[in-house]
Amino acid sequence: MLRLKTSLRARPVPAFLRAAALAATLSGLHASAPAQTPAAGAFPQRAVTFVLPGPAGGGPDQVIRLLGDVLATRWGVPVVVENKPGATGMIGAEAVVRSEPTGYKLLFTFTALVQAPAVFAKVPYDLERDFAPLTQVANAPVFLAVRSDSAIHSLGDYVAEGKGGAKPISYGTFGIGSSYHIYGEALKRSQGLNLLHVPYKGEALAMSDLLGGQIDSTFVSIGAGAPQVRAGKIRPLAVVSKVRSTALPDVPTFAEGGVQGVDAVGWFGALAPAGTPPAVVAKLAADINAAVQTPAVAARLRELGFDPVTDSNPEAFRQFLRAEARRWQKLIADAGIKAE
């Protein structure tokens, strides 16, 4: 059985740092996407809120804030990001399900949306009934990391330490039943390792504790972790993907490191509450997709380590979610993950 350990070391990225990181990108976007003043009866007429079921500073937060700035310019209204981390994404998802289906409160989420129903006996939403899918935005490769001063220098070292060490290797994730938890348990089972799962409310919190020495390792998205690699603070051991990441080309995949089956890539996407008017769904999906296709945005996403998805739409995303729900249900069952 798995027990939940909560970290209290929340350290959101300061606004001025986030603004600096986006400045170059947005300067080009504002020139190419002039503000549009909504006509009478057009959508949107007021601020649009994206609920993110994770804390500030993580990979999903970077992506939605980038898109939010572009959409605010396109729509001529404010776009707000509301962080609601916790419970493997269920808190944020429930907040959107309970909102009015007007298109003004949306969910920007990640793979946990389809994973939670396979882990928890009670989930506050039904994937088919409660959401109107809009569009997939990006795929999000992940890597396993240790601190740069760790004695572990490779995936082989990690496996050897996990098999013969005097104490378990702790690894951080953004919650029970999350992608990162599944990766860890798959690694643990396939290699017979002594690992200790430490769940957090978001990957930024796990990274904070890794840097502070509270945990030995963590899974982290390339978008959130690559800057720490470049700063020399953490050491990447292996990438969860079938191919190497262009952002970290020197880091091998798990398969290259001798571990098979750890290659299911996560994703980001946007959904509205069920019952949102079809015309609003269509406009939201088209505008978000157009923002992703903007050359400067696509380039910035790749710089952050994400792979933009430019050919999605509501129906394609609906079918994708159904397939993902089936895939992760099997992976979770095979990993033996159950909520306590």
Residue-level pLDDT at 14: 46
162, amino acid identity: G
Domain with CATH 3.40.190.150 in the chain: 15-25+46-139+266-335
Out of 203-212, 216-225, 267-276, the most confident range is 267-276
Long-range residue pairs from 295-303, CB within 8 A, at least 24 positions apart, any chain: 296/25, 296/28, 296/29, 296/32, 297/25, 297/29, 297/66, 297/67, 297/70, 299/25, 300/22, 300/25, 300/66, 301/63, 301/66, 301/138, 302/246, 302/247, 303/247
340 pLDDT band (50/70/90 cuts)? low
Q: What is the pTM of this model?
A: 0.76
Sign of CA dihedral 118, 122, 125, 129: positive
Higher pLDDT, 205 or 338: 205
In CATH, the number for domain 142-240 is 3.40.190.10
Secondary-structure class of domain 15-25+46-139+266-335 per CATH: alpha beta
308-325 confidence digits (pLDDT tens):
999 999 999 999 999 999
% of residues, the chain, pLDDT over 70: 88
Domain with CATH 3.40.190.10 in the chain: 142-240
